[in-house]
Amino acid sequence: MEKETKIMSVRDAIIMAMSEEMRRDENVFLMGEDVGVFGGDFGTSVGMLDEFGKERVRDTPISENAISGAAIGAAMTGMRPIVDVTFMDFVVYMMDNIVNQAAKTRYMYGGKGQIPVVFRCAAGGGVGSAAQHSQSLEAWFTHIPGLKVVAPGTPADVKGILKAAIRDNNPVIFLEYKAQFNMKGEVPLDPEFVLPLGKADIKKEGKDVSVITYGRMLERVMQAAKEVEEAEGVNVEVVDLITLSPLDKDTVLESVKKTGKVLLVNDAHKTGGFIGEVAAMIAESDAFDYLDGRILRLAGEDVPIPYNQTLEAAMIPSVERIKKYILKLVNNR
């Protein structure tokens, strides 16, 4: 029997996931700036105040340090807060609480101090929000043991992974991309549709080259894979990491061994970006012996993200640039 689905946006998938989990568990609540009456800065909590009330959809002062500290304290006492960070850039004000407290408490107390809190971060460019409101900072957090980091790229994955993050007993950094809040796709309506953390997904089977990506870039990689197959006959395998930490190394390495060619794509800055860690992991593994060419990275330029939308578009990997890099690998250029 096929499970019932509905076409909906990423925004609505977020609302559905949070609402289902709040109905399921009275300890789950949402907090952040403008999440109540306003419905969230990006409309990701519209209608939730009416259903759950102000005790469980809590508007906070404009103080990210206070928000993160209160959320972590609530999690320590058995609550399961979801924090709407709004722009991911604002997470810099939360770093001490997240990195020095939330990430380390469970380890330091021998597993007795669980911190089940989700930090929802609206990441990335593409909407003209300029240098201080357009960053993807996931690489910072993958460097910190004790944090889980996820970056889904489809509405269905957004729902399934957000629900898994809320149920997890560890702090989770959840990336949702501003440029994709209106992107639509089929989403399972089953309240128990939950995807596993730490598991990558082969979004497209292929044999000629592996393109490994996550988050916003998945949509562009899928489009590029389709176009090079139609125009050039190149059969691309698309690996969607979904969870960056913990990383599903097995799925990545099996794909590399299968195709022998690897392109890594993300929209964050290239220097120090997460795909560099994936490249190093491949180079240190036995999959390296299967490679028939260089490992290539395609990422955002190492400049502050411009406000001008033409310049902004130029610094983020496009479908055309992804196609160019795929053909460079296939043709050993």
Domains in the chain: boundaries: 5-188, 201-330
Q: Which residue in the list 120, 133, 178, 203 is annotated as catalytic?
A: 133
Alpha helices in 81-124 (DSSP H): 95, 103-108
What is the separation of C-alpha 63 from the centre of its chain, rounded to a whole number of angstroms? 24
pLDDT the model gives residue 295: 97
What distances in angstroms separate CA 204 from CA 15, 59, 100, 219, 294, one per listed residue? 28, 41, 39, 12, 22
Instruction: Quickly name the fold that domain 5-188 has.
Output: Rossmann fold (3.40.50)
pLDDT the model gives residue 1: 47
The parts of the chain modelled with pLDDT lower than 50 are 1
CATH of 201-330, one of 1.10.10.60, 2.120.10.30, 3.40.50.920, 3.40.190.10: 3.40.50.920
Q: Supply the pTM of this predicted model.
A: 0.96
143 is an active site residue: no
Alpha helices in the chain (DSSP H): 10-24, 48-52, 64-76, 95, 103-108, 138-142, 155-167, 217-232, 249-259, 274-284, 309-315, 319-330
Give the other-Cβ count within 10 Å of 110's Cβ.
7
Gyration radius of the chain over CA positions: 20
Q: Which amino acid is at 250?
A: D
Kind of pairing, strands 148-150 and 243-245?
Answer: antiparallel
pLDDT the model gives residue 224: 98
- For residue 58, the cross-strand partners are 31
DSSP state of 254: H
Domains 5-188 and 201-330 share a fold: yes
Q: Closest by alpha carbon to 101, among 89, 117, 86?
A: 117
Total residue count of the chain as it appears in this document: 333
d(CA 329, CA 207): 13
